[in-house]
Amino acid sequence: MALRPDTRELAARARADLRMGVPMVLGIKGAAALVAAAETLSPERLASLRSFGVPLLAITPRRAETLKARAYSEHVARVIVPQDADVRWIQNVADPADDLMMPMKGPLQTERGGEEGIARTAVALAKTAQLLPAAVIVAVDEGPATAAANGLTWLDLSEQDLAWESSALSEIAAARVPMEVSQAGRLHVFRPKDGGEEHYAIEIGRPDRARPVLTRLHSACFTGDVLGSVKCDCGPQLHAAMEAMAREGAGVLLYLNQEGRGIGLANKMRAYSLQDQGFDTVEANHRLGFEDDERDFRIGSEILKSLGFHAVRLMTNNPRKVAMMEGTGIEVVERVPLKVGEGDHNRAYLATKAAKSGHLL
């Protein structure tokens, strides 16, 4: 039926449900389970989940390493939730905020072997919903029937390869926007087909599609770009890139809504809080259960191609951006360094980016 949502649309619905604390039902290769985000789970819903069976808490191997729990997999760890554990126990395992105050959260028992696809996908859904990467799962015999009886979203990925994680973009609108750096400015708005965060392309001047264009892939940073935070170098990089494009007479700024290296503003603030406890930016991400960098720069490549650009002079200190552009069909004829904004508050942060994330600083 034409009105029926497809898998990508159901995945977007499932992410919205998880953010609100509503469970969903996930099916993979004949198995099915109720899935709820650990961060938004309520005591009432935990009790209801327990009526279906014994819950497991799916977390990332990064978080499991912090908790000294065995993952038995490079993709996911499945922690057995004790019978007397409440929501607070689950959320304390998922959230590292009080790790230093309560270092002994275990010993945690984890499952070994068996099908891990549902647990792995549940964590991926929580991540893309910009929640803590942890999900409570309870196996059920009849996925569609369980979903229908409880009014829950049923997402069957048995025939999918998780391609829904990366959604195609469509240009929604564009208009002239005169700016301080250029009176000839134009803003393009791109929207993912899965209803996710919109991304923006700003043309400064009138870039020639036939020549390599000066380009900056800039991930949104509310604290640096808007508040002027000196904890990072994002704000200075943004303004320096726009000024360089103005001097050159043309350029393209891609402003991608991938806050906090792709983990979202709330998780970024959690990482900042951990940094205040003495962890560096990479260690903080790992304790939360994330990788060093969760961003997808293929988004930028797709936007450039849709605007008619195929070669760039890329303003970045991050070799990963260069590799991603070249790996997706955009020729990088030159990497243009962008070393600005170092100060007393971010010197250690920049050193960590160089030492652990390979930035050329």
- In tens, the pLDDT along 300-312 reads 999 999 999 999 9
Residue 218 is labelled as binding a ligand = yes
Distance CA 125, CA 28 (A): 14
The mean pLDDT of 105-119, rounded to a whole number, is 89
Residue 216 is labelled as binding a ligand = yes
What pLDDT score was predicted for residue 340?
86
Go through the chain and tell me how many residues it has: 361
Q: Is the pLDDT of residue 341 over 90?
A: no
Share of the chain above pLDDT 70, in %: 96
What pLDDT score was predicted for residue 184?
84
Distance CA 288, CA 271 (A): 7
Beta bridge partners of 78: 58
Residue 217 is labelled as binding a ligand = yes
295: annotated active-site residue: yes
Kind of pairing between the strands at 185-192 and 199-205: antiparallel
In this prediction the pTM is 0.91
Backbone angles phi, psi at 252, to 5 degrees: -130, 125
pLDDT tens string 79-89? 999 999 999 99
Catalytic: which of 63, 287, 295, 335? 295
293: annotated active-site residue: yes
The mean pLDDT of 114-141, rounded to a whole number, is 95
What pLDDT score was predicted for residue 193?
86
Distance CA 38, CA 352 (A): 30
Residue 62 is labelled as binding a ligand = no
Distance CA 63, CA 76 (A): 9
Domains and CATH numbers, the chain: 7-163 (3.90.870.10), 169-258+295-357 (3.40.50.10990)
Cα Rg of the chain (Å, integer): 22
What sign does the CA torsion over 341, 262, 227, 230 have?
A: negative
